[in-house]
């Protein structure tokens, strides 16, 4: 889940992107009836770097056809 509200250029800042990302994480974690195993990688504000996001690429490449990604 990626949510960036704070940017180097303050004029680009958003009000709810980081909060919405956190809300999605909460939804997935709480809805165990639909999602048996939830593996969450969250990138919020300063942790949403290109290298951090690309670091999970290998794990995503191992997903199977019936996986929800």
pLDDT tens readout for residues 46-65? 999 999 999 998 888 988 98
Question: What residues of the chain score a pLDDT lower than 50?
Answer: none
Question: Residue 23's pLDDT is what?
Answer: 97
Alpha-carbon distance 48 to 5, whole Å? Answer: 10
Question: Which runs of E-coded beta strand occur in 1-69?
Answer: 2-3, 43-44
CB atoms under 10 Å from CB of 32, counted, come to: 10
Question: Residue 33's pLDDT is what?
Answer: 80
- Percentage above 70 pLDDT, the chain: 100
Alpha-carbon distance 44 to 50, whole Å? Answer: 12
Contacts of 56 by beta carbon, 8 Å cutoff, 6+ apart: 41
Global pTM reads 0.78
């Amino acid at each position: 889940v990626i949510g960036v509200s704070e940017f180097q250029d303050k004029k680009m800042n958003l009000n709810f992107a980081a909060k919405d990302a956190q809300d999605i994480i909460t939804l997935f974690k709480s809805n165990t009836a639909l999602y048996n195993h939830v593996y969450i990688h969250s990138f919020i504000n300063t942790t949403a770097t290109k290298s951090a996001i690309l670091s999970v690429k290998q794990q995503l490449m191992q997903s199977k056809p019936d996986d929800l990604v």
